[in-house]
């Protein structure tokens, strides 16, 4: 399974960068076709929030979430939150707590995490799964 970070879904949904949009759409389609797409409730929560902030119509958000909900894993539990907190305090930067929660979820349910967020590069030391940073 391949866990997608929220930004991959955002780039697929909103025209911000033509190349990233095309890459995101192709990646999502490929993962859906191969039955390897994995998302978390945290991803969808961030997705809904970001699209709302960008002014995307609520009907579009509902439509997208209805599609993506089929690919959800379970949400994080208290232990995952504690592990993420311990890691972010080691980093002395708990602004990235959501990234560390994504990493905990990906570790539990997937073999790989894919993102456009370069900050994940410094988090590789906290996991054995592959983190692929798209450009």
Task: Output the pTM of the full model.
Answer: 0.93
Q: Model confidence over 42-71: pLDDT tens digits?
A: 999 999 999 999 999 999 999 999 999 999
**CB-based contact 31:2 (threshold 8 Å):** yes
φ and ψ of 114, to 5 deg: -120, 135
| CA 39 – CA 47 distance, rounded (Å) | 11
Q: Model confidence over 64-96: pLDDT tens digits?
A: 999 999 999 988 889 999 999 999 998 788 888
């Amino acid at each position: 399974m391949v866990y997608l970070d929220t930004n991959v879904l955002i780039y697929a949904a909103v025209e911000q960068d033509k190349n990233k949009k095309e890459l995101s759409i192709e990646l999502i389609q490929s993962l859906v076709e191969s039955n390897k797409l994995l998302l978390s409730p945290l991803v969808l929560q961030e997705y809904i929030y970001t699209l709302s902030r960008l002014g995307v119509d609520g009907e579009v958000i509902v439509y997208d979430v209805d599609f993506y909900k089929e690919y959800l894993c379970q949400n994080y539990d208290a232990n995952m939150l504690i592990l993420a907190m311990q890691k972010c305090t080691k980093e002395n930067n708990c602004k990235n707590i959501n990234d560390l929660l994504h990493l905990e979820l990906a570790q539990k349910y997937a073999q790989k995490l894919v993102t456009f967020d370069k900050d994940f590069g410094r988090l590789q030391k906290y996991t054995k799964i592959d983190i692929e940073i798209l450009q």
